Each structure stands twice: as structure tokens, then as C-alpha cells.
Chain A
Amino acid sequence: MDALHGFKDVQSLSFQRPIIRRLILGSYWVVILFAIPFWWRLTSIERIALPSNRVHAQLEKQPVFPVNVQLDGSSFHGRASLLASELNELLAKSTRTSTRWNNLDIHVTLDQNAARSVYTVAVGNGTVVRHPRHLILSQDDASSATKIADVLTGLLAPEASSRVQRVVQYSKRYRLAFTLLNEDVTSDQLIHNWDIHHISPVLSRLSVLHDFLIESQVQFHAPLAFEPVQIVSENSTLYGLTPEDLTVFVNSAEWTLSSSVSEDPVLHFLLFVPSSSRRPLHILDTQGSPTQHAVFLLPQWGGIYILNHLEHVGTRTHLTAVDLSLVFSAFVNQLSALLGVSDLPHGVKSDDPSILSDWQVDAVLRYRALENIVETQQTLHSIVKLVDQIKNMPVDETVRGDVQNALTALEKAYQSTAGLPSTILHWSREALSSASHAFFNPGMLALLYFPAEHKYAVYTPLFASIAVPLVVALGRELHAWRREHRTTAGKLVYHIQS
């Protein structure tokens, strides 16, 4: 009859036997169940544990820099030991109250064979610092412990000036971009060349702190973006820059000041030659009266020198080293100010003013090392905090490696505080660069945030259409199996009863 109607009995088909059907259904479920761990593994974010305990322990630590100052016993005529103990007390007090230098531990001794980076103090004519790390005090300055302590504090722990803002952030490398700007060469004269060699003595002194790359250029058309004020008096006309003008002096839209080949921070030094129709160009005070200044500094950016006086005037001028000596001494001053080198304390001279003294360089070294250490501690702390706070931020092996390197370098910096300041700086720099490297790891980009609604909206159309038949088939199969089970059980009961 089945054959007559063209239908087969469903039960008689080999693939419709219950056991085969259940196997097929089961295999689907087995695949899904086995896939779950893989899915879990592939969609979870790799977050390796960071050494957060070590980082928190680091935050408590403060490096201490021991500094040994040795008094020359012979020149203090017997009162040296008394002076030393007084000085120790005074210096300890002044460093304790300083916010910047409370990690400095100054010891004044009479001991001849102290460590090699020792600073020596003797009495002579006039207060002078001498290479390397000698201080000669005048009779007047050496008269009391307070005066000596003042000089020593000024040299070893110079107070941050109010202009701490102008100091650039520490970097291993800086590019110094020297630019000679002719405002308008068409007017009468052109400065086409200049010799920039004056800056090397200072750079070599600072080479323990930074590496410098120097680039220079001459521009022939450098218009100002504003009109300087014209001031006419009885016998002369001059042009003035108001304080507001100074802040907008650099015409960044039209002057191309440095190439952007590397990521090193750039310090700019501009020598601006006003066109002859706008000379002399002076800086005005707020009352609008001209001052003698022609040099100014933009914090963290660089320095500007306005060249008003040209000695020998010709149509084509080459500025020689002699012409530029004043300009470059100003640039050197600005450079050291931008790099955070403190001036010698008032009343203290240097036997060679053209270079920086060891006292100054050491103070910067210590300060930069301290700054790097604090910065490293804060960066490491931020990493740990952010990883805790942002749950979908991945953390991989390289990040942990960098964090560990930073911690190791910090330890080494602490251990080397008694040694040369340059060694501490080296390790603090290593620590900071590792910590920054960890923070800026490109792999640490937090995955984008999706609200739960978005997830349902995306996944439901995909998975619901697969899940419904699978679950329904499972349910039916179970149902069928249970009924079957019941009927066979019922039959069994019936048999026993009969």
C-alpha cells in the first residue's frame, strides 16, 4: 500500500532509525560542548599578573643621596672640627625643610681619605668654585658657620626657582634647532651664513645628562604675524614688542623651524634680524616704554635673540664667531636654564665662567635622577592601577618584563646613590624608559567597550537560529525516549500481571 501511494514507511529508512538520529543529534552537541573551552580561551583577554606588591613596596621607598663635604683643616686654623659639627646641623636642617632636596644627606667631615666624589672647602681670597668640586671661601664668607652653610646649600641644594615651569622634561636626547631668521632680505641686506660653534663647551659638560643633535638653518623671509609698535621720540624712531607680542612672536604658521624626522624633543634658538625698516626692535614693559632687553625665553620651547646692532653693514653678511659671541652666550644661558641648571648662588664666582662648574652639573644630575625615580614610581603605580580599573585591558608578557626591568633598575639606582651622580642618573633613566615602555605598550590597548544590549543585538540573530532547532530536537528526543521507556515499562508490568 505504501508503495502504491509512493510513500515509504518512515521508520523503515535506515537513517531514520532512532539510534542513528540520536547519534547525529548527539554529535552536534558533542561538538558544541567541546568547542566551549576553545571559545572561552579565544575570547578571553590575556591578563598576566603584574608584580603589584613590588610596585607598592617601591612607592614607600625614597632614595637618599649621601654627599661628603670635606673641610680643609689647615685653612680653618683649628676651628674646623667645631665648624664641621655646626655645619652638619645647619645643613641637615635646611635639607629637611626643603621640599625638593629632603633626600639629600650632607656630611661635613675633616677626613682626608673620603670617597672620591668628595667636595672640598678651603679658605682663600674671594668666594670661587674651582674645577673639580673645590670651593674657595673668602675670609668674610668663612667667618661664620651660617654663611658657609648658606653658600653650601646654594651649591649643593639650589632651591627650585619660581620659573620651574620653563625647565623641559627629562629626555636622553634633545635636538637643538638654531635658526637665523632674516625678516625681509629684500629691504637691503642679507645675512646668509653664520658660525655656530660656540655652544660646544657647554654641551660637552652636559653630555653626562643628555645627548644633543644640532641642526641649523637660515631663512630669508620670516615675516612677523603682527605689527610692532612704533615709538617716535625727538631724535630717533624705534619699534617695540609689547609683553603680549612676545608670546605670539613666533609665527609658527609661516616659519618652518625644525624638521620632524625624529621624536626627540626640540629646543629652538632663534636669532631674529629685523628688516632695516623695523630697526631697532626693543622689548617694551607694560607701561609701553622701551627696555634694553632684546632676549627672551619661551618656557620649555626655546630662546629668541633679536639682533639689532650689526657691526659691519653690507648687502651680504657672514656673521663670524666674533659677531656672534654675545648671541651665543645668551643662547648658552637659555639652554642651561631650559635644562634646569641652576645659577651659582649670589656672591659665588666661577674661575672659568665659560663652562658650568661641577657643583652645578652634580646638582642637576641629582635632581634629574630624583625626578626620574619619582616619575618611574608613579608610572608603575599607574600601570597597576589602570590594569585593575579597566577590566578589558590586555597585559602580556612584554609588559610584565618591562615592569620587572624598571623595578630592577630602580633597585640599582638606590644602591648606587653613594657613587657618582651620573651612575644614579643612568639607572634612573633606565628605570623610567622601561616603565614608559611598559605603559605605552601597543598591546595594552583596552578592547572597545560594548554595552550588553549591543552584544545581544549582534549574537541573538546568529545563535538563536542555530540554538532553537538543536534545543527543540533535544527536547523532543528526550520526550520520545521517556515515553518509549514508559511504554516498555508498562508492557513489562502488564506481563507480570497477566
Chain B
Amino acid sequence: MHWLQHLSRHCLLLLACLSALTLAIPQEERVSNFFGRHTGTSGHTNNWAVLVCASRYWFNYRHMANALGMYRTVKRLGIPDSNIILMLADDTACNARNQFPGSVYAKAGRHLDLYGDNIEVDYRGYEVTVENFIRLLTGRVDPSVPRSKRLLTDDRSNIFVYMTGHGGNEFLKFQDNEEISAFDIADAFEQMWQKKRYNEILFMIDTCQANTMYSQFYSPNILATGSSEIGENSYSHENDNDIGVSVIDSYTHFVLEFMEGINKTSQVSMQDLFSSYDPVKIRSHPGVRSDLFQRPLESALITDFFGGVSQAEIFPVIEDADTTTQHIIRVSSPDHVVPPDPVSPQAHNGQDFDKANATAVMPQKDAVALDVRWRDIRKWTSIVIVGFLVGWVSLVR
């Protein structure tokens, strides 16, 4: 079974490489006369980010810090506030127990205030519900909902979806009173795909048993990554003694640390990020699912999802309109300096990354069918047992 899966994965990869190659050649020729080399890109023109912190209460300070850390990073890398939907289930910055009112810190030293003075929280407190999240993704919002609370994406948009909170096998708790399941998110993404609401999605989740949350996806062009395997907890990274609670989760901490080495024009790929995962430091086994994603991870740039615009065209002024035609430039140049990675991706990746890949294998069809049948058997057995008990009690005096 395993070698079959590997074979099909390799075939897919090969196919993707080949098609990328054939597509790249004419474009390369076209551009090279003016601006030189250009690598395969994702074909998007705008970036969006949906950042969700699903849990409330003071002791979940770290979840808000997770989401705000991501917010700071995507904003720093060039996604405008109008394209970031930030959902915070609670307002720790203004919590009465916060020693540092109006501030949220993600590190023990409290060097960087994530809340700052330029922040736009789009969904706050009790607005953060499963229903609102699904409505946001699918676009089925009430006509009265303002622009800042809508995901106005199209087929040229790359979307980064980040979720954090308390979760379990195939669910994530919202607000301590409801939960979203992996099926709901998978269906929402499918609806987005059908209405051409995205070009590519990067789904990242930091919660216990996070990798189960992307197991049900079935729509194309989704790259998913999570913090921990099924049956495994995700832990917090560190406490701050003055704040009195944990300030950030381990997985998010290391992702953000990696991101600190990235700038708006970096050429670092998603593969580099995934290779930097270190299960020993993170204390859980992060997973990656790339079978739905059409491009090789080596050519998918971090800035394809975390950055702003990916391309610009020189446009002639009227005077020189006759002399030159317009040219495309892409964010890529062979001599560009790649900043050193803080986490040194080469250090650990070997077997750890293999492990991450292994968790990413899609559930096979017959396995799903078996699962369904097993569910049916359990259902009927429980009904028979209840029936038997009722009959027994009624007949025995």
C-alpha cells in the first residue's frame, strides 16, 4: 500500500515539474530580453490572510498572542490591513488581569508589543463564531456586513488561513461553547473553489491533534500544515512571570522565529519552512499535506502566501510608447541575497521531515469506506444494546 502511495505521489510531482517546465519556457524567453531570468510563480496578483484565535479567557492569552504574531508578520511582509481578516475571540489587551494594559507580548522578555497602535481587529469577542467563520470563507454574509469583515477574494488571490485554539481529533473549539469540524472547513474550501474565490490556500493550524484538521480537505491547490499528530498535544512555549500565563505556543513560536528572517523580497520557499520544523524543540510532530497542492514546495515561496504583491509591470509613458512594449518583472532575480535562516533548516530535517510527510498521506478511498461501514456497525450495535436493555428491564419484574 505504502509504495503505491509513494509511487503516485512521485508521478504527480514529476507531472507538475514537467508542466511547470513547459509553461515556463515561452514566458522566460519573453521576459529574458529585458529583465533576465524568472522562475515559475503562482499566478496570483493579491494576497489575503484570515487569522483566527478561537479561544477566549485570560488563561488562553497565548492563543491571542499566536494570532497577533501572525498578524504582525503578514503585515510586515506586505499584506495590507484591508486584506487581513483578524478574528480574536477575546480581548486580552484590555483584560483586567493584564499587567500591561493595551499590550500583548509573545515573548518572555516583553520586547515587542504585538498589539501596538496600528491594529485592526475585524471580528472580536462574541463575533468569533463557527457560523461567522464559515460565512466569511464562503462569502455568504448578510448584505449589511461591512467591507472590512468580508473576504473579497477572486481566482487570483492566495489566501493564508491560520487558526489556533483548543482542539481535538477533527475539531477545533470556538469560544468554549461550539466547535468547527474538519468536514466544515473542507466543505467551505470546496465552495470557495467552486466560486473561484482562491488561487491557492495555505492552511496552518496550531492546536492539539492539529494534523487531523486538514485530513478531510478535498479541493485542489491547498497546502496544509499543522502543529501535531493525531493523539498528540501541542504545548505552549514559555511563560512570562509578570504576565503570569504562557505567552505563546511552541509551534507558532518557531514558525514566527523562522519568519523573522524573511523580508518582502525573500526567495525562501515553503519547503525551507517545513524543513525547519524540529519535533524535539516544538515538542510535537508538525505535519504537512501537499497532495492537493499543484506546485513543488521548493518553488512555492513564503512570500506567495505571506507577502503582498508578487509582480509589477513597467508601463511606458506616451512618449516612449512606440519604442518599447511593456515588460513583466517578477520578484525574482538570480543575484538576490537570501537572508540567513535563523533556525538553520539543514540541521535536523532528515528523518523528522520524513515523519512529517508520512502524516500527510491522504486517507485512501477504501479506508474511508471501511471507516463509514465501521461507524454503521457501531451505530446499530449500540441501538441493539439499548433495545435489549429496555426489553430486559420491562420483562424482568
Q: Within 8 Å of chain B (Cβ to Cβ): is A337?
A: yes
The docked-state distance in angstroms from the alpha carbon of A165 to that of B306 is 20
Contacting A at CB under 8 A, from B338-397, are 375, 379, 382, 386, 390-391, 393-395
CB proximity of B42 to chain A, nearest CB, Å = 11
Q: Which 10 A-B pairs have the closest CB atoms?
A: A475-B394, A252-B80, A382-B194, A246-B312, A243-B329, A244-B265, A449-B183, A248-B264, A472-B394, A300-B45
Interface string of A83-97 (1 = CB under 8 A from B): 000000000000000
Residues of B within 8 A of A (CB): 27, 30, 34-36, 43, 45-46, 75-76, 78-82, 118, 130-131, 134-135, 138-142, 146-148, 150, 152, 154, 156, 170, 180-181, 183-184, 187, 190-191, 194-196, 264-265, 308-321, 326, 328-331, 333, 336, 375, 379, 382, 386, 390-391, 393-395
Distance in angstroms from A362 CB to nearest chain B CB is 23
Extra contacts, 18 of them, besides A263-B152, A386-B191, A468-B390 (Cβ < 8 A), are: A162-B27, A225-B264, A244-B265, A244-B331, A246-B312, A248-B78, A248-B265, A263-B150, A287-B36, A293-B316, A295-B315, A296-B313, A298-B45, A303-B315, A337-B315, A445-B140, A449-B183, A472-B394
Q: Is A320 an interface residue (CB 8 A)?
A: no
Kindly supply a per-residue 1/0 record for chain A positions 375-406, scoring 1 wherever the CB is within 8 Å of any chain B CB and 0 otherwise: 00011001001100110000000000000000
Least distance between A165 CB and chain B CB atoms (Å): 6
| A229 at interface, CB cutoff 8 A | no
CB of A471 within 8 A of CB of B390, answer yes
Q: Is the Cβ of A285 less than 8 Å from the Cβ of B140?
A: no
Among B194, B318, B330, B386, point to the contact of A333 (Cβ < 8 A): B318
Within 8 Å CB of B79, what residues of A? 252
* B393 cross-chain contacts in A, Cβ below 8 A: 468, 472
Provide the residues of chain B in CB contact with A263, threshold 8 Å. Answer: 147, 150, 152
The residue of chain A having its C-beta at the shortest distance from the C-beta of B146 within the complex is A260
Interface segment, one of A30-38, A120-128, A131-139, A435-443? A435-443
Is the pair A448, B130 in contact by a Cβ cutoff of 8 Å?
yes
Whether A262 lies near B390 (C-beta < 8 A) is no
How far is A385 from B193 in the complex, measured between Cα atoms in Å? 12
Known contacts A297-B315, A386-B194; A253/B118 CB under 8 A: yes
**A433 nearest CB across to chain B (Å):** 13
Report yes or no: A163 in contact with B315, Cβ–Cβ below 8 A: no
Given A442-B141, A475-B394, A476-B394: A247 touches B311 (CB 8 Å cut-off): yes
Instruction: Write out the residue numbers on chain A whose beta carbons fall within 8 Å of the beta carbon of B336.
Output: 244
Task: Report the Cα distance A474→B393, complex, angstroms.
Answer: 12
Closest to B387 in A: A471
A452 to B315, CA, bound (A): 59
Given A244-B331, A244-B333, A445-B135, A298-B312 contact (CB < 8 Å): yes
Q: Could you say which of B30, B148, B315, B316 contacts A260, with CB atoms under 8 Å apart?
A: B148
Contacting residues of chain A (436-472) with chain B, CB-CB under 8 angstroms? 439-442, 444-446, 448-452, 456, 460, 464, 467-468, 471-472
Contacts A247-B309, A471-B394 given; indicate if A330 touches B180 (C-beta within 8 A).
Answer: no
Contacting residues, chain A, for B36 (C-beta < 8 A): 286-287
Q: A286-B36, A475-B394 are in contact. Are A163 and B308 (CB under 8 A)?
A: no
CA distance A472 to B315 in the complex (A): 84
Closest chain-B Cβ to A117's Cβ sits at a distance in Å of 30
A444 CB contacts on chain B under 8 angstroms: 140
Interchain CA distance A456-B385 in the complex, whole Å:
13
Given A286-B36, A475-B394, is A301 in contact with B181 using a C-beta cutoff of 8 Å? Answer: no
Which of A247, A286, A326 interacts with B265 by CB under 8 Å?
Answer: A247
- Contacting pair A285 B312 (CB below 8 A): no
Identity of the chain A residue whose Cβ is nearest the Cβ of B376 in the assembled complex:
A452
Closest chain B CB from A250 CB (angstroms): 7
Residues of B within 8 A of A382 (CB): 194-195
Say yes or no: is A198 at the interface (Cβ < 8 Å to chain B).
no
CA distance A482 to B45 in the complex (A): 79
In contact, A253 and B313 (Cβ under 8 angstroms)? no
Q: Does A75 contact B (CB under 8 A)?
A: no
Chain A contacts of B135 at CB under 8 A? 442, 445
Tell me which residues from 386 to 436 in chain A have a Cβ below 8 Å from any Cβ of chain B. 386, 389-390
In chain A, positions 463-498 with a C-beta closer than 8 Å to chain B are 464, 467-468, 471-472, 474-476, 479
Residue from A448, A467, A476 within 8 A of B180 (CB atoms)? A448
A206 to chain B, nearest CB (A): 18
Q: Does A285 lie within 8 Å of B34, measured CB to CB? A: yes
Chain A residues positioned under 8 Å from B331 (CB to CB):
243-244, 247
Interface size on A, residues (CB 8 A): 75
Is there contact, CB below 8 Å, between B35 and A285? Answer: yes
CB distance from A486 to the nearest CB of B (A): 16
Residue of B nearest to A446 (CB): B187
A236 located at the interface, meaning its Cβ lies under 8 Å from any Cβ of chain B in the complex: no
Q: List 25 A-B contacts (CB under 8 A).
A: A162-B328, A169-B154, A242-B333, A243-B330, A248-B308, A250-B308, A252-B82, A265-B152, A285-B35, A286-B36, A293-B315, A293-B317, A293-B320, A294-B317, A298-B313, A299-B311, A301-B46, A337-B315, A382-B194, A448-B134, A452-B375, A456-B379, A468-B390, A471-B390, A475-B395
- Chain B hits for A389, CB < 8 A: 190
Give min CB distance, A171 to chain B, whole Å: 10
Option from B312, B318, B320, B326 in Cβ contact (under 8 Å) with A243: B312
Q: What's the minimum C-beta distance from B199 to chain A, rounded to whole angstroms?
A: 11
Instruction: Give the residues in chain A near B314, CB-CB below 8 Å.
Output: 246, 283, 291, 293, 295-297
A450 to chain B, nearest CB (A): 8
| Shortest Cβ gap from A302 to chain B (Å) | 11
- Within the complex, what minimum Cβ distance (angstroms) separates A242 from chain B? 8
How far does the alpha carbon of A446 sit from the alpha carbon of B195 in the complex, in Å?
15
CB neighbours (8 Å) of A445 from chain B are 131, 134-135, 138, 140
Q: Which residue in chain B gives the minimum CB-CB distance to A332?
A: B318
Q: Is the CB of A252 within 8 A of B34?
A: no
Verify if A210 is at the interface (C-beta below 8 Å from B): no
**In chain A, what residue has the closest Cβ to B312?**
A246
For residue A409, give the distance in angstroms from its CB to the closest CB of chain B.
18
In angstroms, Cα B393 to Cα A73, docked, is: 102
A455 to chain B, nearest CB (A): 10
Is the pair A452, B81 in contact by a Cβ cutoff of 8 Å? no
Question: Nearest-CB distance from B366 to chain A (Å)?
Answer: 20
**CB-CB < 8 A to B194: which residues of A?**
382, 385-386
Selected from B130, B310, B317, the residue in CB contact (under 8 A) with A247 is B310
A278 sits at the interface (CB 8 A): no
Docked pose: A386 CA to B331 CA in angstroms = 37
**Cα A430 to Cα B316 with chains together (Å):** 36
Asked if A53 CB lies within 8 Å of chain B CBs, one says no
Q: Is the CB of B156 within 8 A of A300?
A: yes
B390 near A329 with CB under 8 A, answer no
Q: Is A249 an interface residue (CB 8 A)?
A: yes
- Identity of the chain B residue whose Cβ is nearest the Cβ of A259 in the assembled complex: B147
In the bound complex, what is the Cα–Cα distance between A472 and B318 (angstroms)? 91
Q: How far is the CA of A252 from the CA of B35 in the complex (A)?
A: 26
Question: Is residue A166 within 8 Å, beta carbon to beta carbon, of the partner chain?
Answer: yes
B309 near A479 with CB under 8 A, answer no
Residues of A within 8 A of B195 (CB): 379, 382, 439-440
Q: Which residues does chain B contribute within 8 Å of A456, judged by CB atoms?
A: 379, 382
Chain A residues, Cβ within 8 Å of B328: 162-163
Which B residues are in CB contact (< 8 Å) with A248? 78, 264-265, 308-309
Interface residues in A206-256 (C-beta closer than 8 Å to B): 225-226, 242-250, 252-253
Q: Is the CB of B394 within 8 A of A163?
A: no
